[in-house]
């Protein structure tokens, strides 16, 4: 039963990571209006997130060797929550670039850590579980634009849509506090 609970948590974590990944493209116009920049100027946030992904992957490999897996995942999920909370309050392109760099690094750390934790949990029979994990990631990528559109449709704007996902990630981080290493 404990394996099933942890697998469900990892899948929920990957839905959240996928939502972070699927957030940038649909919100690009909103972000450019937020800081009064052209779409050409704000497109640098894609590069910032990609560089964050590369450096985050390098850092994650070292950190998962030094820390317990769930502790580092909690820290990275908290970085995602803080980063997403600050995005609607960004006032400059520099702040957005820094936030999406942080989000890229945290997203790839959650991705690598989730795969590793799933491998440690299920060992030899991990194949189908990793497939489900990545199905959840894809679901999160698909849900992010829908959340943004729903927030815009209800009159709350894209900023509210970005903030709505925080509660899910906060719940996942809180549950990991109670979970021990596999």
Q: What is the pLDDT of residues 53-101, one digit of tens each?
A: 999 999 998 998 888 888 898 899 899 989 988 888 888 999 999 999 9
CB atoms within 10 A of CB 63: 18
What angle is formed at CA 79 by the lines to CA 49 and CA 160, rounded to 5 degrees?
A: 80
CB-based burial, 10-36: b 16+ in 10 Å, e otherwise? bbbbbbbbbbbbbbbebbeebbbebee
Q: What is the tens place of the pLDDT at every residue in 120-166?
A: 889 888 888 999 999 999 999 998 888 877 777 777 666 665 655 54
Could you give all domains of the chain from N- to C-terminal order, each with its CATH number?
A: 2-177 (1.20.1250.20)
**pLDDT at res. 167:** 47
pLDDT confidence tier of residue 176, bands split at 50, 70 and 90: low
């Amino acid at each position: 039963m404990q394996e099933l609970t942890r697998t469900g948590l990892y899948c929920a974590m990957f839905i959240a990571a996928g939502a972070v990944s699927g957030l940038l493209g649909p919100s690009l116009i909103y972000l450019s209006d937020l800081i009064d920049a052209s779409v050409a100027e704000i497109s640098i946030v894609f590069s910032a997130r990609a560089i964050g992904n590369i450096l985050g992957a390098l850092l994650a490999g070292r950190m998962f060797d030094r820390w317990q897996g769930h502790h580092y995942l909690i820290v990275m999920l908290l970085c995602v929550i803080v980063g997403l909370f600050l995005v609607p309050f960004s006032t400059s392109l520099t702040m957005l670039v820094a936030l999406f760099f942080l989000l890229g690094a945290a997203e790839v750390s959650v991705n690598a850590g989730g795969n590793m934790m799933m491998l440690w949990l299920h060992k030899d029979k991990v194949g189908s579980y990793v497939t489900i994990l990545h199905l959840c990631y894809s679901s999160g990528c698909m849900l992010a634009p829908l959340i943004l559109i729903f927030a815009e449709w209800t009159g709350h704007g894209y900023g509210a849509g970005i903030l709505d996902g925080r509660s899910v990630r906060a719940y996942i981080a809180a549950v990991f506090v109670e979970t021990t290493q596999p």
